[in-house]
Structure 1
């Protein structure tokens, strides 16, 4: 088994490679890491190919002799790159994969941006049959195009591909910084822009956390997944015959409820909270298909997500770096 991993140096890529190398089920598997801006160390089981997936020659060389692809590379809100890298890059990967004599399985990591996550109202749980609906911007559109392209390659060529659709992926102390009123906020919303500037500085200094309200004025529910649970799902899907031409929601059992977050932090850490009205919509991704077909179960619930983020201590060699905008 030779697995091509795109985006190998990213959050999911690093955890996936470590998880696979430690998994006795894949003790003979080797990894070819396709790296662009950054690189990883080569070992007796890891080799590195450098270049961009937007270059067909690079993709052809990277796929030579590969049996499996785990496709993680993407762009965020970078319109100048997104079509070349995310869309054309996936097309070249799929074209080379379908023509390869050694290729056996293609795994795409998708995102809930493809179904609009909290931008749109949903009448019920978000299942794998929920229609695509990108929110404004290039990133969400690219996630729709990725999923549709993989699906159509399955229709056209009976390609053995599957998509694991993940919401916002957390690791280390990420979740803690999603709630920051300071400049160190991770992702969005950017809370300091939603309140007066003086209030934002005070909330940041006092450890006040935002209690996001949805368009109906109720505490918002939003989907998350911890990187460890996503990696476990990828490993469960790898070489699994039940995954062929399937889409799976990979997420926590329950969405994060901002009221429950505020209450738990008040009890465990004495933090206050402030209501933040919004026009966003609560939603609930249903992960029962992955549980049924992959025999997968997420370990992280709300309390573990919070406790692990607040207990994490960064070393001086592990600075918080956001590698992409958006």
Structure 2
């Protein structure tokens, strides 16, 4: 077997590759990493193809002898790259892969932006049957089109595909910086868009925990997943016939409640909460299908997410990298 990985040097790719190479299920598999801006250090069973996924000649070389594709490469709010990477690149991969006699499975990593996460309200858990309902922006639009394109190749070409739809992916100290009040904040919403300057200055001085409230006044509930749990889901779906032609939500068993986060951190005696009203919606991404069909179970709950983020200590050779704006 031969696995092509796009985005192997990104957040998920860097966590996935060592887990894959150490998994006995895949002990005899070879890996091809399609890399553009960054590259990988030499290692056994891994070869690298350099170039853009939007280059037809590069795609042909990368897919030589490939049986499985794991498509992790993505762009965020960068319109000048969206068509080339997200749409043209995916089309080239699918078109060429579907003409390969060796093809077995194409696995796509998607996101809950497809269903609008905190920007759209739902009266019940969000399952895989929920209609695609993206919020405004290039990234959400491209993910809707990626999911649709992949499904259509399944219909038109008989391709065995799998889509894993993940919420906000956390690693290392990401969650801590998602709550940071300064320029080092990771992701959104930006506090400047929710608070007046004097109020933001005050809560910075108090080292407060921003406890977001949704449009109803309750504490906001937003879906997250730790990268280790996401990697486990990918491994569970890879080369698994039960996953063929299937879409799975992969998220923590319960969404993160910002009120609970504030309580966790207040209990340390080092923080106080500061409630922030927002127009956002609380939602619950239902992972029941992945748990039942794949036998997958996320291990990191809210307590684990907080503990890992606050206890993580960076070594000098481990600079903080923002893979995308969030």
TM-score, with length taken from structure 2:
0.98
| Unmatched tracts of structure 2, length 5 or more | none
Report the counterpart of residue 77 of structure 2 in structure 1.
77
Distance 1:233 1:324 in 2: 22
Matched position secondary structure for 2:82: helix
RMSD: 1.1
Shift of residue 201 of structure 1? 3.4
Q: Which runs of 5+ in 1 are unaligned?
A: none
Bigger mean CA deviation after superposition, 201-210 or 10-19: 201-210
**Aligned residue pair count:** 326
2:224 corresponding residue in structure 1:
224
Shift of 1:202: 3.8
Give the aligned partner of residue 38 of structure 2.
38
Q: What is residue 177 of structure 2 aligned with on the other side? A: 177
Q: Which residue of 1 aligns with 2:166?
A: 166
Structure 1 residues 260-269 or 276-285, which shifts more?
Answer: 260-269
Residues 270-319 of structure 1, C-alpha deviations (whole Å, 9 max, x = no match): 31111111111000010010011100000010000000000000111111
Q: Structure 1: how far apart are the matches of 2:175 and 2:325?
A: 17
Q: Which residue number corresponds to residue 263 of structure 2?
A: 263
Closer/same/farther in 2, CA of residues 276 and 38 from structure 1, 3 Å limit: same
Alignment of 1:58-137 (within 5 A): 58-137=58-137
Q: Superposition pairs for residues 163-312 of structure 1, below 5 Å?
A: 163-312=163-312
1:24 aligns with 24
Q: Is contact 2:186-2:325 (8 Å) kept? A: no
Q: Which moved more, 1:194-203 or 1:110-119?
A: 194-203
Q: In structure 1, what is the equivalent of residue 148 of structure 2?
A: 148
Contact 1:181 1:192 in 2 (8 A): no
Question: What secondary structure is seen at the aligned counterpart in 1 of 2:211?
Answer: strand
The Cα of 1:238 is off from its aligned counterpart by 0.9
Q: CA deviation at 1:2?
A: 1.0
TM-superposed CA distance for 1:192, in Å, is 3.6
Q: 1:195 to 1:155 in 2, by over 3 A?
A: same
Note the C-alpha offset of 1:8: 0.4
Rate the CA distance shift 1:214–1:299 in 2: closer, same or farther, 3 A.
same
1:223 Cα deviation after fit: 0.2
Shift in Å at residue 193 of structure 1? 3.6
Bigger Cα displacement from structure 2, 243-252 vs 39-48:
39-48
Q: Is residue 182–residue 192 contact of structure 1 (8 Å, CA) maintained in 2?
A: no
SS of the aligned residue for 1:33 comes to strand
Residues 243-273 of structure 1 show CA distances to partners (whole Å, capped at 9, x for unaligned) of 1100000000000000011111111353111
Listed one character per residue, the Cα deviations across residues 122-160 of structure 1 (whole Å, up to 9, x for unaligned) are: 110000000001101100000100111111111111101
Q: Which aligned runs of 4 or more in structure 1 are off by greater than 4 angstroms?
A: none
Query: 1:60 Cα shift?
Result: 1.2
Contact 2:251 2:287 in 1 (8 A): yes
Output the CA distance in 2 between the equivalents of 1:56 and 1:203. 52
Give 1:205 deviation, angstroms.
4.0
CA displacement 1:37-89 (0-9 Å, x = unmatched): 11111222111101111111111110011111110000000011101110111
CA distance in 1, matches of 2:74, 2:50: 16
Report if aligned partners of 1:177, 1:184 keep a CA contact under 8 Å in 2: yes
